[in-house]
Amino acid sequence: MSLQIIRPDVDLDFVGKRYFFVALSTVINLASIVLLITVGLNYGVDFVGGSVVQLQFKSATDGGHIRSALEPMGLGEVTVQDFGAADRHQYLVRFETVKNVGSLGKKLEEQLDKSYGPGAAQVLRVESVGAKVGRDLRRNGFMAVIFATIFMGIFIAWQFRGVSWSFGAGAVIALVHDVLVVVGALVISRLEFDLTTLAALLTVIGYSVHDTIIVSDRIREDATKRRREPIAAIMNRAINETLSRTILTSGTAIAVLIALLTLGGPILRPSAFTLLVGFITGTYSSIYIAGPVVLFWEGKGGSGRGRGAVTRAA
């Protein structure tokens, strides 16, 4: 007996509820755009430049004391945060990259020795990224997201041109929706947006279009078999037919990501969170965004073939 997550004869009305979910997605996307403009992402040092220093002290201290100790070095605005277990007395210090610093680690230790005593503080790690490098990485990163989205849309439009060119538009709009939802979630969560998170965002784009292709391919297959049926009915049947596969694929991936998010530690948390939100919204958009775009195109006679029915086979 095969494993049946969803009954083979399931017939849920996804297409009929599309207006509600399109409206909901529009509100969420607009909120994401507003948040991105007004609050902004919490960029890591990769994208804004600056220095990160990991310090370890022999006894507990606080951010204020550390800032005071480093003030004579003229590092500008310094942020200090606890890092790790309380008994380890480790702190992360961030400041703008200082030019021509020579041996920054040694100078930091010498300065801290003056306040805390010889050997009381140890510089475990220093990482610096120049401001220009950070800006270039940020620009290139966003260009990568934009180009990936556009070329995915072109590819899908070409592959499904036999049924309708609107599949490409649906895929692009679904991808933009996914990226905006993920970015909005990152703004709210204040998780650090660094190169690893950007890589996770590009992975979300790849996964989302993969799921869209699965549903679109089933629509194309059903359209050739049932040429007289309205496209809305074909689309709803295709979504129901692929529902079990979608739930199994997405469900297993999401289960792994939940484990990664809870057990992966603070370094992996931003990318695990990005992937988790992206996979959920990618599955949702394949059903409730890509499909309605195609229906809107076909219903308005975008192909000139009249309302509803698909009249050309793949």
Q: Which residues bind other proteins (CB under 8 A)?
A: 51, 54, 83-85, 88, 90, 97, 100-107, 122-128, 265-268
**CB of residue 79 to other proteins, shortest distance in Å:** 17
> Any residues with CB less than 8 A from the CB of 209 and at least 6 apart, and which?
152, 156, 171, 174, 175
**CB of residue 278 to other proteins, shortest distance in Å:** 22
Residues pairing with 50 in the sheet:
129
To which H or E segment does residue 127 belong? Answer: strand 121-129
* 209 CB neighbour count, 10 Å cutoff: 27
Measured from the CB atom, the residue of 92 and 214 that comes closer to other proteins is 92
**CB of residue 159 to other proteins, shortest distance in Å:** 40
- The alpha helices in the chain, defined as continuous H runs, are 18-38, 45-48, 63-70, 104-116, 131-159, 166-189, 195-225, 231-241, 243-263, 269-288, 290-299
Measured from the CB atom, the residue of 124 and 248 that comes closer to other proteins is 124
**CB of residue 188 to other proteins, shortest distance in Å:** 24
DSSP conformational letter for 16: G
To which H or E segment does residue 76 belong? Answer: none
**CB of residue 70 to other proteins, shortest distance in Å:** 15
**CB of residue 143 to other proteins, shortest distance in Å:** 26
Place of tokens 């965004």: 289
Measured from the CB atom, the residue of 150 and 267 that comes closer to other proteins is 267
Measured from the CB atom, the residue of 78 and 183 that comes closer to other proteins is 78
Measured from the CB atom, the residue of 114 and 125 that comes closer to other proteins is 125
**CB of residue 108 to other proteins, shortest distance in Å:** 9
**CB of residue 125 to other proteins, shortest distance in Å:** 5
Residues pairing with 192 in the sheet:
42
Cα–Cα distance measured from residue 224 to residue 11, given in angstroms and rounded to the nearest whole number = 20
Q: By C-alpha distance, which of 90, 92, 82, 96 is closest to 128?
A: 96
Measured from the CB atom, the residue of 40 and 117 that comes closer to other proteins is 117
**CB of residue 295 to other proteins, shortest distance in Å:** 47
Q: By C-alpha distance, which of 101, 103, 92, 275 is closest to 185?
A: 275
Measured from the CB atom, the residue of 117 and 251 that comes closer to other proteins is 117
> Any residues with CB less than 8 A from the CB of 206 and at least 6 apart, and which?
148
Measured from the CB atom, the residue of 82 and 217 that comes closer to other proteins is 82
Question: b or e along 129-155 (b: 16 or more beta carbons within 10 Å of the residue's beta carbon)?
Answer: beeeebeebbeebeeebeebbeebbee
**Tokens encoding 135:** 């800006």
Measured from the CB atom, the residue of 77 and 87 that comes closer to other proteins is 87
